[in-house]
Amino acid sequence: MVSGHWITRLGSWPPRWFLGSEPKFAKPSAIPEGVALCATAKLVSDPNNQLPPEGAVAPAGWQSQTRGPGLTGRSIRTFFAIFLVAACAHLSCAAGQNEAKKQAQISVSGPAQACKPVYLTIDTGHMEVAPLMADILNKHQVKVTFFVANERTKTGDGSLGAYWAAWWKARAAEGHEFASHTLDHMYWRADVAAAGAAPAQFSMRATAGPRAGQDLVLSAGQYCEEIGKASARLQEITGKVPLPLFRAPGGKTSAQLLAAAKACGYAHVGWSPAGFLGDELASDKFPNALLLKKALQNIRSGDILLAHLGIWSRQDPWAPAVLEPLITGLQSRGFCFQTLREHPDYRAWIQGVRPFPVGLQPAAAAK
């Protein structure tokens, strides 16, 4: 065995003879990490790569001149090199085990638990801000669900017209989802009393299209056609099957109206109280800064959020001024954005057995 307390005989640590004539690790910043340090240790080890047998007395030329027989510089360098290699191997193994443990934890938790989901939905509007909003969504890799009607636009022939068709097709290619907002942006006003067992009818007002401003009475079947026409147009211009969902303009519905829509294959989607983002409100009373602050304070996991592709009456546009800081603010708080296809309240309806959605082509109506 090596005699004497060999480390105490070395003086300063690490000794200059171990580092060579010029210290190789004189500055901490020059010390390689992990394996690099192990590889360097081999450079200063004993060229014969041998140690005396255990219990042997070192040759006279190797004996210490300060504390009796022992190993001198060359052998100690070999011993220290072996020590470093072993230490590095231990650290490498430990690092591998830690990484494996992290991966196992990720696997167990799964992607569904990695964030707090919210569901941003965007209704059609005058479309002037649509390109800017699309750029922000794409920049932050946010997928939304668009509810689409053929509304009047500042540019082009309506939000479902030929002018905007390429814009919708590009959104489909990015992975967004689509659903009906009724073709002529049809507001429900009241159920119309029917005599005896007559089918339900509804008092409606169209706010877009050739019937804009007209008060109408629609049967359940006619209202289903109104929902289905928007879905059919979306399918035509995007090549993507819209979700079997719809949103009544203004969120105005009745129990009879919802039952009629479900009977023809469409479930209604509203929004969460905190999800009303306020872009329809007057900007002098509800400035953008106030709306952003309120949203970031109140939105919770699972909320359905509502915004528009432009509001005619708002003087200071909500988008894109609020949209980007809202997205980044929610993401920094651990939220993530998903489409309604992933929403637990609608997943079963979308994937399950339900009436065939009116307006869609049977061959393309995949679940």
pLDDT value for 354? 87
- Mean pLDDT, residues 143-169: 98
- Mean pLDDT, residues 313-333: 97
pTM attached to this predicted model: 0.69
pLDDT value for 189? 98
Opening angle at CA 255, ends 253 and 257, nearest 5: 55
Q: Going by DSSP bridges, is the β-strand pair 201-206/186-192 parallel, antiparallel, or unpaired? A: antiparallel
3-17, 65-79, 140-154, 348-362 — most confident range? 140-154
> Please, which pLDDT band fits residue 42 given cuts at 50, 70 and 90?
very low
- Mean pLDDT, residues 30-35: 40
Neighbours of 174 (CB within 10 A): 13
Which of the pair, 58 or 346, is modelled with greater confidence?
A: 346
Residue 335 has pLDDT above 70, yes or no: yes
CATH 3.20.20.370 boundaries in the chain: 115-181+221-364
Q: At what angle do helices 323-332 and 288-298 cross, to 10 degrees?
A: 20
- Mean pLDDT, residues 35-50: 40
- Say if residue 14 is preceded by a cis peptide, omega within 30 of 0: yes
The H or E element spanning position 306 is strand 304-308
For residues 360 and 232, the answer to whether their CB atoms sit within 8 Å is: yes
Q: Tens digits of per-residue pLDDT, 187-215?
A: 999 999 877 777 889 999 999 999 999 99
Mean pLDDT of the chain: 79
Q: At what angle do helices 162-174 and 220-238 cross, to 10 degrees?
A: 70
Q: Tens digits of per-residue pLDDT, 262-282?
A: 999 999 999 999 999 999 999
In this structure, whether the domain defined by 115-181+221-364 belongs to CATH 3.20.20.370 is answered with: yes
pLDDT value for 23? 42
